[in-house]
Amino acid sequence: MLRPSLARDIVLGILVIAILALIPALVPSKAFQDFVIRVAAMALFATSLNLLVGYTGLTSFGHGMFYGLGTYSFALLMQKTSLSLPMAFLLTLLITAATATVVGAICIRLRLIYFAFVTLAMQMLLHSIIISWVGLTGGDQGLQGGIPRRVVAGFDLGNQHTLYLASGVVLVIGLIAMRHVVASTFGTSLRMIRDNEARAAFLGIVVWRVKLAVFVLSAMFAAVGGVVTSLFVSGAYPELINWPISGDAIFAIVLGGIGSFLGPLVGTIMLTVLNDVVTRTTEYYGLALGIIILVFALGLRRGVVDFVTERLGFRPSGGVS
């Protein structure tokens, strides 16, 4: 029997999917569908990063390595093998999990800024390999040639509308899964480690094992976002695994807030809108976006969702406070 909270989340998820399915019938906009696909990919990535930042107290500057690894692994498996799309997806998750296990085993025993910068170094190393291995990855030109065999159970993911609906479904399922990770006893262990690692160890929690588990789990959810992006761009490009992509996820968390589970989703929507507006209105993209984020950071002193919930007197559900 389903727990009441899980049943509630499933009902809400079905409602969201129904609304997403209805919108194109009322407002047939390809731009909106593109927007939702991009938000779905980045929201999965940003929320997975918040499992580390908000719930475990591990600030990673290199989490984008797993997002990019998801794009490249999936695209290469589809191009170089005869695997079906579902099998390529599952193998992508296994590749990401194996990589995250190795990287995590190196990083999790480090603390604070050392953890952050070693994860960044790992991402830069992986990016260098992608750029250098031209014969396999296409180097700085990216992985060309498209994604073949996109039909799954009669649904053609090469069609924009179908990919739009599939991205919405994947986003909802991913968010529900992560929501119930943080609401479980495992999630309680994460918060105990974040609040007082020494006390958590005293109470019998094997800290390194829990940290490694959440590191691998968050990497796999980031890779799911990477797969969505790979289907959207029909390939993979070095920009998707370079260090600024990790900064985008961090910006999304900062804008939305780490104190609410939905903060990264809200932050992703805001950041995507800001990206679209700023790039259309000025050539000084980095400067303008930096000023806007600075205004939010200094003006609210917390993410938008955190600010609103605090003003309304609500305690974030499943959040980090």
Residue 321 lies in a domain: no
Q: Which 3 state secondary structure label does DSSP give 155?
A: strand
Model pLDDT, residue 317: 43
Residues 6+ apart with CB under 8 A from 234: 146, 147
Tell me the residue range of the domain where 109 lies. 4-242
The Cα–Cα gap between 29 and 45 comes to 25
Residue 256 lies in a domain: no
Model pLDDT, residue 321: 42
Model pLDDT, residue 318: 42
Cβ atoms of 180 and 12 closer than 8 Å: no
Q: Quick: pLDDT tens for 137-196.
A: 999 999 988 899 888 888 889 999 999 999 999 999 999 999 999 999 999 999 999 999
Q: Which residues of 306-315 are buried (b: 16+ CB within 10 A; e: fewer)?
A: bbebbeeeee
Residue 259 lies in a domain: no
Tokens of 259: 């104190």
pTM value is 0.92
Residue 72 lies in a domain: yes
Tokens of 26: 């009322």
The residue type of 318 is: G
Model pLDDT, residue 287: 83
Tokens of 240: 């998707």
Residue 19 lies in a domain: yes
By CB atoms closer than 10 A (0-12, 13-18, 19+), residue 27 is exposed
Residue 199 lies in a domain: yes
The helix (run of H) or strand (run of E) holding residue 152 is strand 151-152
| Nearest of 70, 87, 215, 62 to residue 143 by alpha carbon | 70
What average pLDDT does this structure show over 203-212? 95
Specify the higher pLDDT residue, 163 or 2: 163
Q: Quick: pLDDT tens for 52-75.
A: 999 999 999 999 999 999 999 999
Count how many domains the chain has: 1
Alpha-carbon separation of residue 108 from 127, 197, 312 (angstroms): 21, 13, 37
The residue type of 138 is: G
Residue 208 lies in a domain: yes
Residue 233 lies in a domain: yes
